[in-house]
Structure 1
Amino acid sequence: MPNLYRQGVAESQTTIAMMYQWQQALSASGPWSDIPGAIKVNYTPLHAEGVTTYYRRLTTNCDSVLSTSSIATVAVNANTAPTINVGSVVNTCLGSTTRLGGSPTATGNGGATIASYQWTPAGVYTPNNASANPTVSPTTTTIYTVLVTDNNGCQSLGQQLVNVYKADAGPDASTCVGKIVRIGGAPIQGLSGLTYSWSASPADPSMSCTNCAQPDVHPTAATTYTLTMTIPVTGGGTCSTTDVVTVTPVAAPVTPNFAGPDKTFCISDLDAFLGTPKESGFTYVWAPGNYLQWNNVSSTRFQPGNLAMPNPNPIKYYLTAIKQGCSFVDSTYASVIEANAGVDGCGPRYVGTADRTPNINETYSWTKVSGPGNFTGATNLPMVPVSSSGGGSTTYRLTVSYNGTTCTDDVVVPPCGCVVDIAVEAPFVCPSFGLNGGANSVKLTATAGDIFSSDPSVFTYTWSPNVGLSAYSGREVYLTDNVERTYTVTMGSPFDPSFNCTRTIHVNNPAWSLPVFQAKDVTTCPGISVSIGQPTVAGYSYAWTDPQKYLNDTTLSNPTAIVRGSQYFPVLVVDVGSGCVARDTAHVIITGMPAGIAGSDIQMCGSGTVQLGQSPLPNVTYLWTPAASYQPNNTAANPTIPVAATTSFYLQATNSVTGCVVNDTVKVTVKVR
């Protein structure tokens, strides 16, 4: 529909659904009757001999007639159109000549004579398309139509189908080596006497058939297949056509092992590559893609990281090379080894670290680079024992080798004193049998202090006096009574009999006591400062956990918190004199109110009664203004009220527990009818 313009602004019209109905009558004045099924824009009528008929078209929208067309008149005389005989369907080959029409092509009726012929479609006709029986050489199957006119001007149409057949060997194809490809076009159906004949150059014994339309082949080299198709020609004889198709197997990459050789890398190696150079025409995909920088190139960077070993290790990668739909697969192994001589530290001890590559059979070799120390055991393992290094530092080197790759690392053992530490593990930290709850509550653990070792148990430990402990040798012992004593632990080395050091610890001091502290649970409003602890006690230290920085100071006994949502604050209180601790948690509870507590704005047509607010909340009081006729009253959470004009109502809601106050407004808009 065209646009309408109102004051220069275009407006689209509503689409009107229209339908058509053709009617006929034997008189221009009617009566008119609907023609069944004649509901399209155009209509082609059929007429009985000698009957003049009148036609018109109605345009409707189902409810009414929108328009009526002018009347068309078809006057029919008594003459009879010519009789057509174009002959049967013709089957022929591409490039062959075909004679159209019958014998004769048409005859006149009622004494009429044929005046002219006109063949279509346009093309080359011999002698021309006005001949009764022209010859043609169509390139595709064609329906020829002849218009025959007699001397009375009556006309008839006739049609003749010429089927043009040609051999179809199919499109040239590439195939994967050993993969079957089907050549040729679909078989021609319903044509009796049709034959197919295939030949191949070079000869291909893989052809599934040589006398069918579509043989299956899988050549090992580029091969040209020739199809000769022979059909019977309408009217007698045969004709033949040929077509060729070439099938080319896709060759594999020139490099036989295109994924490359198996490779081993030192951990943290930044120049770790797998694969070989790209070959023209191929795309590549690595799988799995773990630890690879790219998975769609021929040569990719291997990135296992510098901390954890890859899993699995070695890892097997598959590289698929793809060309013209054909896939070729190769594989390679990538493995990672490490030389980790361990952390610098005093001896005697083990140097090195545990083997993290159990599935790789690498070799380990330790040598002393410099210094007075020495090995005290095997030198071909991941971890080996060394002596103390009195008089100067000793440097040891670890060399690890596998698959042509070598990694090295050094460790230094300096001259140090002898230190043994005693750690206390107890509910309240201090070494007191009575304060911590009695049996099995206090564990003492001895550890080599400045002597680095991944396994402190390689040292020997003895405890004295031999009373009040669960054992008197070994790293770990428990207090078994509440008697005040001082214990001494002596640490020795299996690598150096002359090596030992001691440490003492005082236990069960009757003057010790547990800190007394209780954190507060506080209910408050959002954003209000509240205290959560207790007054300071001399001799105590305080440590609050506050990752979000809600407290003013985490080392105070009674810090203040400002939060907008409920939070927990754990605290650790330490008696500095005894080392005994107390733990507690403060809980700050925020009691808020819902947004829009006065309710949503209201619109109404004319005056009426509306309900304000929301459902009542526990421990909350309400006060509505301005003064009006609230029902039941202006202290209800959701009163009803008559409204005659647009008015804003104000609500003050107060939490009686926390004192929190919220003010909100709801507007009632009254529209005049």
Structure 2
Amino acid sequence: MNLFVTRLAGLRRRGAAAGALVILLLTLAGAVRAQAPCVAIAGADRDICSGQTTALGVGPVAGFTYRWSPTTGLNNPNIANPTARLFNRAATPVVRSYTLTVTGTATGCTATSTVNITVKPGPVADPGPNRTVCSGQVFMVGTPAIPGYTYQWPVGNAQAGLSIDNPNLAQPTYTATNPNQASFFRNVLLRVTAPNGCDTLVTLVVTVLPAISAQAGPDVSLCAGTPTTIGTPAQPGFTYSWSPATGLSSPTVANPTVTQANPGSAPLATTYTLTVTNAAGCTATDQTVATVYPPAVAPAAPAVAVCAGQAATLAAGAAPVPGTTYSWSPATGLSNPNVLSPMLTLATPGSYTYTLTASVAPVGGTACTATTTVPVTIAPRPVAQAAPNGPVAFCANDTRPLGGAAAEPGITYRWRPATGVADPTAPTTTITLPNTTAAPLTTTYTLVATSAAGCADSSQVSVTVNPVAVADAGPAATLCPGLATTLGTPAQPGYTYSWSPATGLDDATAARPRLTATNPTAAPLVLKYYLTATPAGSGAACPGRDSVLVTINPALAAVISGPAVLCDLSQPQQYEVTSAPAGTTYQWSVTGGSLVAGQGTARVTVQFAPGTSYGLSATATSSQGCASAPGALAIRYEPARVELAVASVDAASNSSLTIGFAAGGSNPVQVLRRVAGQGSFAAVGTASATATSFTDTSVDAAANSYEYRLDLTDACGTVFSSSLAQTIRLQASATAGSGGRDAGTITLSWNAYVGFPVQEYRLYRSLDGAVPELLRTVPGSTLQASLPAGAGFSQQFRVVAVSAAAPALQAGSNTASVSFANAVHTYNVITPNGDQLNDVLVVDNISLYPGNRLRIFSRWGREVYDATNYQNNWGTDPGLAPGLYYYLLTLPSAGTTMKGWVEVVK
């Protein structure tokens, strides 16, 4: 069939000349097909691996039947191309031959074809038996490796709970992990590849049981022979095993008790291992350490007998055991109750029992203890009182008592040394000692008391024998007040001194104090000073005393009376010293002037001259020659002056006015005011004489001109007045213009400023609240001015008078205002012929409306002009045709729109 088709295709390629032949062949096609020979194609020989599939033959052709032999491993032996799956259990390749027989169904023809299949043996793959393992168990899978084979075990999420050490080994090791409460299984795959390239995939099922845990419990510490529990409570289904079993109550329970001895001196530690097994045979282990401490030892200690207050050692000679702590009870009298052999000191006689507790403290456990007791006897101790009242000090050859306690039966007494002691064997006696030196002599005496039991006590006292002191207050003296003299004589070594009274003395404890004389009376004052001299360290026991008379003449005082303030230097002034004693002379001194009369007496006349400083002093001398301290009187010159410099209305307010002035003196300046030329002056306030200005806020400067005067009263009561100053009152009026370029006229008038000569007046204007600008300067004789109205809706004016002197003074007027409507107005006819008359469309006051817009239209409605901020310049275009035009004027600042017409005439 295929051969026929190929030939027919060849005929097609031969062109039109063969067309008839093609038709003929097509006519004969049915007969040729029925007579086609049978063809069998079994396919090419091949190699496959054991267990691998392969397709035989080729596609089927209609009209033929197919049969394969043998049928082993074929999925269908009666089709043209079946699939064969073959196995080779041997160790070497096996060849399988298959024969295909093709039979024509119409002709009965047959054909055969054979194909050889070489089946290579597959690798040996054995993952081992299925496994059931415990969580945490490490186990091996697979079988020993075959040389030349390669192995691949799976890894990844599909094997969760299993970790492998090497996935490319024939016998790798897995570690199972199951933190859950239920078992799980994993299909573990093994792919084995032989040297011939064939591979095999086999499966191993691994079941992982849940994890179990062993709780041996915390480490324990215990004393030798003391039971202690280890482990934790048992869980159902578990078995327990402890190792070793030494000292355990049972090695097969979950929480046995452990009891051990320790004959040594150091802690003995035993590690116990607990193995827990569940019903599946899974096990877990844990360990705990039991540390057994040796028993504590409290050594026996001998009894102690000692005198009260005497120290003795408890447990003397015993050596402490390392690791053992000691505690004595009670702790009374012990140097340290926490050592084995403390020192004991008790003051109270009696019988006592002290208990020693020795402890070995296991870490985290209860201490191991042992005790022993020691009897203690404290014998009474005698009391020696050498100085019940403290140290003894007395003067040479005096007698003083020693001791002070009564003798007790059975007690002997002894004083050491016995020098000067009346009875050296008595607890209470007296002592007498000499001192021929100039310094105190001190000796320590000791009294020893001894009991029949041999207990002793001692006491000491310091005995000081002081020499008798020598005091010399020195000779009598007579002094003037304010002068000084020295009392007494040079100091003796080791002496202390005290003077009484201490009045006037620089140091009442010095041997030679300095006395400064004072006498508040008018008669001589006689004082007696007493000196007490005492050797060092003897206190007041052996003082020496002396006295001295001091006469102090009466003191003088020069107190000057007279005027302390000068207002007029042309007149002489009288001064005197009051209460002058008879026979007193005076010495006067003048600053800033000269003495006219009275030198040497209590009353003088002084003439002062112009200057900068003034003063007067006097010194008095008594008949005994005592001079007073200089008496002084400070004098000041206060010439009063007041000058009014300027009176000006404040630029910011017509109700505030500032007065500038200069003044001198100590009294305040009084400011007086009146409406110019009307009534009397009245006070409106005061200012300090050191100030330079005063502000009057109770005025209406727009309605009135004011006159001001300043008054100043000097220190002597004379009143001085300044010259007058009159403020400027400005008045403004406006006359409206006729329109167009005539905006109107403003007339300003004001009164003449009084206070300083005026050289000129300066006229200022502010438009609509803007910064004022200087408009004009006029001579000082001019009091009126006319101005064109100019621009603006509101205009404020102010006049300032300027003086001729340098620096110039200025005095401002009130602020006067005028207002304008500034209406917008247009004209209906323009004649743009170049004669400068009515050539353009003029809009009156248009410049006062910034942002305006002018639009002009022809009579047919066509816009011919559009301008913002119109400049009064439309109509100059030479091409502008005569005729009627309409305009639209918008004034944004005024919020209005105007419409109208204008005619252009040429």
**Which TM-score applies when normalising by structure 2?**
0.23
Larger Rg: 2
Query: Under a length normalisation based on structure 1, what TM-score does the superposition of the two structures give?
Result: 0.30
Higher relative contact order (CA 8 A, sep 6+): 1
